[in-house]
Chains A and B, each alone.
Chain A
Amino acid sequence: MHTTPSRHSSFITSPPVDQIGVEERVARLHSRSIKKASKVEALRLALSMLDLTTLEGSDSAGKVRQLCFKAMHVHDALPLPHVAAVCVYPTLVRVAREALGHSSIKVAAVATAFPAGQADRETKIRDTRFAIEEGADEIDMVISRGEFLRGEIAYVHDEIAEIKSICGPILLKVILETGELGTLDRVRQASDVALAAGADFIKTSTGKIQPAATPPVALVMMEALRDFHTRTGERRGLKPAGGIRTAKQAIQYLVMLRETLGPEWLTPDLFRIGASTLANDLVMQIAKESNGVYQSVDYFSQV
C-alpha cells in the first residue's frame, strides 16, 4: 500500500497554530457589522460561490435534475447570480451534466471513495477517472485521514499528487475532513501538504462528519493559502463545506476571506461554499433587503 516517500513533502514544516489566538481572531472578525448595500453584495457574492450539493445514498436522477434546475433558477422572482456548481456522486454526473445544458454552472463530483476514503489507491484512481469520463468539471477528493494521523504524510502527499495528475486541467478540491484531524496544527499541516501536492482548492469537510466547517478551521486554512501565495505567487482556493446554513454564517466567512486573503479571493474561482440549504436563506435575505420585510418561507423552493 505504501509508495516511496516524496522528496518534497519532507521539507514542509508548518508553523505552529495557537488555538486561542485563532478563536480570538475569529471572534473579532465576526464582530464586523455588515449592513445595507454591503450586505446585499455579500449575499449575492455568496450565492455565486455556492456549490449546491446533494450527497445522499438515496440520491436519484430525478433529485439531481431538480437540484440542477434550482442551480440555474434559484429564485426567478429576483435577478440573481446563479450558483457556481452542483456537487454530486460520480454516478450522477452525467445526469447533472445533461440537466445543466449550456449553462456555465460546473459539475463537481466527489471521488476517491468519498466520504471515508477507505479504499486502495487503484479504486480511488478508477473512481476519479470514471467521474471525469462522465463529464465532471471538478473533482472533490478526500484525503486518507488514517494515513495522515499515523504520520504517513508522504503517503497523503503522493496520493493527492497522483489524483491531480489524473485530473490534469480539471479542478481538484482536496477535502481534509478537518473534523477528524483533531487539532488546528494538523489542519495547517494537512493544508500545506495538499497545496504542495497540487490541490487547486482545499476543502474543510465532507459534511458527513461533525464538526464540519468551523470558522477557526477555515481561518487556519486561509492562512496556509496566504503563505502559499507569498511563497509561490500562486493563488489557490478554499471551500468550506458542511454546517454553513445561514446567510449570516456565509457573510462571516466572506469577512474572514476578505481580511485574511484579500479582495483577490472574492471570486468563485477561488472561494466556494459547499452547502445544500444555504441558498434558500441567502435568497430570503436578499428578498428581505429589497422588500424590507421577510416573506414566508413558502414563497421559496425548499428543495
Chain B
Amino acid sequence: MATRAESRVPPRSEWAYAPAPESADPFIRERYDLFVNGEFVPAADGRYRTIVNPANEETLCEVAEGGVADVDRAVKAARRAYTRVWSKMPARERGKYLFRIARLLQERAREFAVAESKNGGKPIRESRDTDIPLVCAHFFYYAGWADKLDFAFPGARARPLGVCGQVIPWNFPLLMAAWKLAPALAAGNTCVLKTAETTPVTALKLAEILQSADLPPGVVNVVPGGRPTGQAVIEHPDVDKIAFTGSTAVGKWIMKALAGTNKKYTLELGGKAANIIFEDAAIDQAVEGIIDAIFFNQGHVCCAGSRLLVQEGVADRIIEKLQRRMDHLIVGDPLDKNTDVGAINSREQLEKINAYLAVGQEEGAEMWQASCPVPEKGYWCRPTLFTNVSQSHRITQEEIFGPVLAIQTFRTAEEAVLKANNTPYGLSGGVWTDKGAKIFKVTRALKAGVVWANTFNKFDPSSPFGGYKESGMGREGGWHGLMPYIRLERNHAG
C-alpha cells in the first residue's frame, strides 16, 4: 500500500465520543405518597422508603410504603369505582380515557424517559426509544379495544371481572404498569397496582397523568411497597383477579396462596431463553442479535437470550466477533445518549449477579468480560460471557437476570432443540438461520411462549407475550391479553 509522506492529522486517531447527557427535567418530586381514590395520601403508618438512583447511589426521592391497611383502602376505592362508575360506563367512554392517557404520556415522553433511567438505571436510549414508546403504544392499542369488545365475541358478551390486583417488577417499571393497566381498564375493571420496591417513580408520575386525564377516582390506585405490600394485594379477599410479573419463586407462592379462592390469575415469571445460531445464519447480524438479546436493559429481562447455543462450525468465529463487539459497548451514565449498557438496578441484584459469576467460575466455566471502564459509584457489571459451559452448570439452568451470557455449542438441530428445551423455563427463544424451512422446523419444536427468528427482544402491543412451564401462565398483549380480564357471558337472545 502506498505510504503517506506527511499529514497534519495523526495516522491513527483516538477519536472518542464526548459526553452527551440528556438534559430534560424528569420532574421527580422529593416525596411521593400513595395514589388512592384519585388522591395522593400518606401511608396509614406514615412510613416512607428512600428511592436511590442506582447509577450514583444518590437519593432520588422518598416514597410512601403501603401497608395492609393501605392496600385495603385501595381495594375498597377500586371496588367503589368499579361498582358505581367504571363498569357502568359505556365502552367508548372508557376508550376515550385510555386514548387521553396515551396522548398525555406521549406529550411528556422525554420527561418520563429521563425519570425511568434515573430510577432504574437503564440507558436513556432504551427508555426513550423502547420503554416509553411501547408504553404509549400499549395504551393506544387497548384504548382501541374498549368499544370493540361487544362485537369481538359473537354470541357472547365480554364482561369485566371486577377489581384487579397487579404486582409488577423493577426491570420495566412503567411498561409493566402499562401492560397490566391498559387491558384491565379497557375491559372495564378497576386496578390496584403494586409497584416494585426500588422503582415506583414512573408509576407515580403516571398517577399524576391519570389525575390530569380526569380518570374517575379509584379506577386506578397505586400502592408502592415491598413484599408484604404485594402479599396484602394478593391475599385481599375482595380482589377478583391477580396479575403478577416477577420471579418464579414468588409465582409459586402466589399459586399456593390463591388455591381454593375464586380469583383468576396470570403469572409472567422467569426465563432462561436459548438463542440458537445456526452456521448458515447471517453471522454479523446474528452477533448483533446476541448482543440485543442479553445486554438489552443490562440483562434484566425475563425473556433475555441468556443461553447462547452456537453450531460448532461457527462457534469460534461467533465468540471472537462477540468479544470484539462487547468491547465496543459503552457502559456507564444511563443519561448519556451514547450509553449502551446502564447500571444494575439495585445493590441486591448486583450481589446476586456477582454470586453467579463466582459460581460459574467455581463450576469450571471460563469467564470473559468486556474491557470497558465502569464508574466507581453506583452498581455496575461488565458485560460478561461464559464459555466451556455444560447443561448441568447452574449458570445454564438458573436465571441470573444480569448481563451474563452462557455459551454452549451444538452439532445438529435436534441437539440444539434438546438443549434449548431442557430447562424448567419456557418463556422465549431465538433462532438464527438463513433458511426459511429451518426457521419453521426449529421454532415449532421450541417449548417457549415467544420465539423470534433472526431477531430478538421485539415487542408489539398486538403480539401476545407469556410463558410455558415455570415461566408462567396466561398471555399479555393482543386480544389474548384481554382474555384474562374478561368473562364471557352467553347471549340468551340468540
- Chain A residues engaging chain B, CB cutoff 8 angstroms: 15-18, 20-22, 24-25, 31-39, 41-42, 44-45, 48, 81-82, 104, 106, 137-138, 169-171, 200, 223, 230, 237, 254, 258-259, 263-264, 266-269
- Are B288 and A25 touching (Cβ within 8 A)? yes
A21, A36, A39, A200 pick with most chain B CB within 10 angstroms: A21
Q: How large is the interface on B (under 10, 10 to 19, 20 to 34, 35 or more residues)?
A: 35 or more
Among candidates B125, B286, B454, residue contacting A31 with C-beta atoms closer than 8 Å: B125
Residue of A nearest to B432 (CB): A18
Which B residues lie within 8 Å of A32 (CB)? Answer: 17, 337-338
- Are B20 and A35 touching (Cβ within 8 A)? yes
Segment from B2-10, B52-60, B104-112 that makes contact with A: B2-10
Give, as a whole number of angstroms, the nearest-CB distance from B155 to chain A. Answer: 41
- Are A45 and B338 touching (Cβ within 8 A)? no
Give A132 to B1 CA distance when docked, in angstroms. 15
B285 at the interface (CB under 8 A from A): yes
Which B residues lie within 8 Å of A31 (CB)? Answer: 125, 129, 337
- B246-303 residues with Cβ-Cβ distance < 8 A to A are 280-286, 288-289
Give A269 to B282 CA distance when docked, in angstroms. 29
Which B residues lie within 8 Å of A267 (CB)? Answer: 9-13
Instruction: Give 29 CB contacts A-B under 8 Å.
Output: A16-B281, A17-B285, A18-B454, A21-B282, A21-B284, A21-B286, A21-B289, A24-B288, A25-B285, A32-B17, A32-B337, A33-B337, A33-B338, A34-B17, A34-B18, A38-B16, A45-B13, A48-B7, A81-B8, A137-B2, A169-B1, A170-B2, A171-B2, A264-B12, A266-B12, A267-B11, A268-B7, A268-B9, A269-B4
- Are B337 and A20 touching (Cβ within 8 A)? no
- Chain B residues engaging chain A, CB cutoff 8 angstroms: 1-2, 4-20, 125, 129, 280-286, 288-289, 320, 328, 337-338, 434, 454-455
Which A residues lie within 8 Å of B320 (CB)? Answer: 230
A18, A81, A200, A223 pick with most chain B CB within 10 angstroms: A18
- Are B9 and A48 touching (Cβ within 8 A)? yes
Q: A35-B18, A38-B16 are in contact. Are A44 and B455 (CB under 8 A)?
A: no
- Are A48 and B8 touching (Cβ within 8 A)? yes
Which A residues lie within 8 Å of B19 (CB)? Answer: 35
Give A74 to B236 CA distance when docked, in angstroms. 75
- Are A269 and B15 touching (Cβ within 8 A)? no
Give, as a whole number of angstroms, the nearest-CB distance from A45 to chain B. Answer: 6
Give, as a whole number of angstroms, the nearest-CB distance from A172 to chain B. Answer: 9
- Are B6 and A17 touching (Cβ within 8 A)? no
Give A34 to B285 CA distance when docked, in angstroms. 24
- Are B9 and A44 touching (Cβ within 8 A)? yes
Give A34 to B8 CA distance when docked, in angstroms. 22
Residue of B nearest to A31 (CB): B125
Give A300 to B226 CA distance when docked, in angstroms. 64
- Are A263 and B288 touching (Cβ within 8 A)? no
Residue of A nearest to B282 (CB): A18
Which A residues lie within 8 Å of B13 (CB)? Answer: 41, 45, 263, 266-267
Give A200 to B1 CA distance when docked, in angstroms. 7
Give A168 to B338 CA distance when docked, in angstroms. 43
- Are B454 and A81 touching (Cβ within 8 A)? no
- Are B20 and A33 touching (Cβ within 8 A)? yes
- Are A38 and B288 touching (Cβ within 8 A)? no
- Are A269 and B20 touching (Cβ within 8 A)? no
Which A residues lie within 8 Å of B1 (CB)? Answer: 169, 171, 200, 237, 269
- Are B283 and A169 touching (Cβ within 8 A)? no
Which B residues lie within 8 Å of A266 (CB)? Answer: 12-13, 15
- Are B2 and A104 touching (Cβ within 8 A)? no
Give A169 to B16 CA distance when docked, in angstroms. 33
- Are A104 and B285 touching (Cβ within 8 A)? no
